[in-house]
A and B are shown apart, each in its own frame.
Chain A
Amino acid sequence: MDLQIALLLGQDGITNGAIYALLALALVLVFAVTRVIFIPQGEFVAFGALTLAGLQAGRLPGTIWLLLALGVVISVIEASRAVRERQFRRIPMILLVNCGVPLLLAGALFALSPAALPLPLQVLLALLVVVPLGPMIYRLAYQPIAEASVLALLIVSVAVHVTLIGLGLLFFGAEGSRTKSFTDVSFAVGDTLLQGQTVLVVVASLVLIVALYFFFERTIYGKALRATAMNRTGARLMGISGSLAGMLSFTLAAAIGAFSGILISPITTIYYDSGFLIGLKGFVGAIIGGLASYPVAAAGAILVGLLEAFSSFWASAFKEVIVFTSIIPVLVWRSLKTRHVEEE
């Protein structure tokens, strides 16, 4: 291996690692706030990428139907609850948010012929379709059992994951898609060529991470999420309800997932089930951070990216094996490091 190959692999590893880092952050966030191990995180990557690809190909992405369907189901549930509590005034708002907005979006997709729109608008439309799925799935699948054990929540996550994979196959078919490159610029660094798109992935990930940092450190809603993660009862007593925190964290997770998918789709072909493996590698990073530390999770995810890139060069058949086996020493190290309070 010479320097040039090492640079290429390093570039590849950091690009993928940046995406894994974003997903790792989303996983830590969701777990800290809701105790949900969010296996379907990867599906949002695939949905984001494939929705954008669909829009660019002039097809109506199937995710819009999912959005409409979930909107109707949530409207029925919320409206019947409002009737039971005799709060009829809330019903128009419930209908507007859950049915009206998705319908408006579907209408826009029909009317606008998104294929002809400029790229930023296409990205915006794709995000508008995919991101609301996050809080909606939280409302339907997790909120009713928010107080359940971590294991029960994990089982629900598996169910949601399998369902979304199936729907992905239904919506997008078995063949993969790539979206148009955001930029054709490339830079020469020494002997190697640096693709503009790869730089974009890394820069956009960094910007997003900094934005998340500011959200959590500087805004009252970000602080409210952190407070919920630290002390659920304390947060409730301040009026920060578990469902509000859950919705907010799932919205962020869905946005991070969909955005990651959109970032990498010009570099990698995305299939309906590609999200799972990508999400799982983010999960390895999150585990390195103990599902608790944001910076360690992000660093761990970069490490996973690099490990993957270099192992694909030396032992490409074992690439995934090496990445996922690396979790074992991490777990051993973490369990040795953790002292149980009861035993002291």
Chain B
Amino acid sequence: MSALLSQGERVVILEVNELSVSYGKIPALHGLALKVHRGEIVTVIGPNGAGKTTLLCALMGLLPARGEIVYLGEQQGVGRSVEKLVRQGMTLVPEKRELFAEMSVADNLLLGAFDRYRVGHRDELETMDQVFDVFPRLMERRQQMAGTLSGGERQMLAMGRALMAKPRLLLLDEPSLGLAPLIIKEIFRTIAQLKKTGVAILLVEQNARAALQVSDYGYVLETGELSLQGPSRELASDERVIESYLGLGGRH
């Protein structure tokens, strides 16, 4: 692994060491260490309740965390907040999507660029066109209220809204949750496409097979601790992963 790092051009976007999170006295995550490089898709797979969502919320500043978080080479300290991280290009697509239900698709997307607008960028319409290129379905629906969209379209809108912020690190929380197989395929194809734009992606998934297919590197999170890690292709053929997460059909 150190040989890979010394190749130079692999810029580290996010590095986490000894990360611990607890809800009151109940520990949720313990001593996590992980790394995300530019243009890389890193996935964290694991069963329900392992702490995957907690991990993303903690990274995004929605939950207090102990340990070392280095984002874009900067140690995150006392002043860590969601708003500051958003400004520095970290964007979370939450599990519950958190859309603005009584607003149109176009307005939801526009607000994705709110922080960029606030600091003086005026390119939100061009960015929206780029998002429509990625998700043509949103273009068709752009006048429709977000609350009336189907599950798959909602996920597309949540991701499109996040892309409006032109993120450097995109945190995706269970993008496949509650979606039909065909839609899941489409979403993962899009995730693979996004990689080409240079954005780093940290993907948290229960759908281990799809996540390992699309990602470069993977971690397995079990009851608050990382139990396994490695390049995704290796993980996908690891017996323990196959047995616990991929099932018998895992080696097709």
Residues of A within 8 A of B (CB): 84-85, 87, 220, 223-224, 226-227, 230-231, 233-241
Q: Report whether A237 and B94 are in contact in the complex, using a CB–CB cutoff of 8 Å.
A: yes
- Taking a contact as CB atoms under 8 Å apart, the answer to whether B110 and A237 are in contact is no
Question: How far, in angstroms, from A226 to B94 measured CA to CA in the complex?
Answer: 20
| Contact A220–B110 (Cβ < 8 Å) | yes
Smallest CB–CB gap between A295 and chain B, Å? 14
Distance of B108 from chain A, by nearest CB (Å): 8
Q: A236-B82, A237-B82 are in contact. Are A227 and B87 (CB under 8 A)?
A: no
Q: Beyond the given A85-B79, A87-B79, A223-B107, please list 18 additional residue pairs across the A-B interface where CB-CB is below 8 A.
A: A220-B110, A220-B111, A220-B114, A223-B110, A226-B100, A226-B103, A227-B111, A230-B101, A233-B98, A237-B98, A238-B165, A239-B83, A239-B86, A239-B118, A240-B115, A241-B81, A241-B82, A241-B83
Number of A-B contacts (CB under 8 A): 70
Q: Say whether B102 faces chain A, with CB atoms less than 8 Å apart.
A: yes
Chain B residues near A233: list those with CB within 8 A: 62, 94, 98
Complex interface bits, B115-151 against A, C-beta within 8 A gives 1, otherwise 0: 1011000000000000000000000000000000000
Q: Give Cα distance in the complex from A239 to B86, angstroms.
A: 6
CB atoms of B103 and A230 under 8 A apart = yes
In contact, A84 and B78 (Cβ under 8 angstroms):
yes
Q: Does B92 contact A (CB under 8 A)?
A: yes
Using Cβ atoms and an 8 Å threshold, which residues of chain B touch A239? 82-83, 86-87, 114-115, 118, 165
Contacts of A230 in B (CB 8 A): 100-103
Most buried by B among A84, A230, A234, A239: A239
A residues in contact with B98, CB < 8 Å: 231, 233-234, 237
Q: Which of A84, A227, A234, A240 has the most CB of B within 10 A?
A: A234
Interfacial chain B residues near A234, Cβ < 8 Å? 94, 97-100
Tell whether B52 is near chain A: CB-to-CB under 8 Å.
Answer: no
A227, B115: Cβ atoms closer than 8 Å = no
Q: Give B165-208 as 1s and 0s: 1 = Cβ < 8 Å from A's Cβ atoms.
A: 10000000000000000000000000000000000000000000
Chain A residues lying within 8 Å of B110, measured Cβ to Cβ, are 220, 223
Question: 4 nearest interchain CB pairs?
Answer: A239-B115, A234-B98, A239-B86, A85-B79
The docked-state distance in angstroms from the alpha carbon of A224 to that of B117 is 11
CA distance A233 to B92 in the complex (A): 11
Beta-carbon contact of A223 and B111 below 8 Å: yes
User: Which residues of B are found within 8 Å of A231, using beta-carbon distances?
Assistant: 98-101
Is B112's CB under 8 angstroms from A238's CB? yes
A251, chain B: closest CB distance, angstroms: 16
Question: For residue B114, which residues in chain A have a CB less than 8 angstroms away from its CB?
Answer: 220, 224, 238-240
Chain A residues whose C-beta falls within 8 Å of the C-beta of B60 in the assembled complex: 237
A198 to B81: give the CA distance in the assembly, Å: 49
Question: Can you list 26 residue pairs at the A/B interface with Cβ under 8 Å?
Answer: A84-B78, A85-B78, A87-B79, A223-B103, A223-B107, A223-B110, A223-B111, A226-B100, A230-B100, A230-B101, A230-B102, A230-B103, A231-B98, A233-B98, A234-B94, A234-B99, A237-B86, A237-B91, A237-B92, A239-B82, A239-B86, A239-B115, A239-B118, A240-B115, A241-B82, A241-B83
Binary A-proximity of B22-54 (CB < 8 A = 1, otherwise 0):
000000000000000000000000000000000
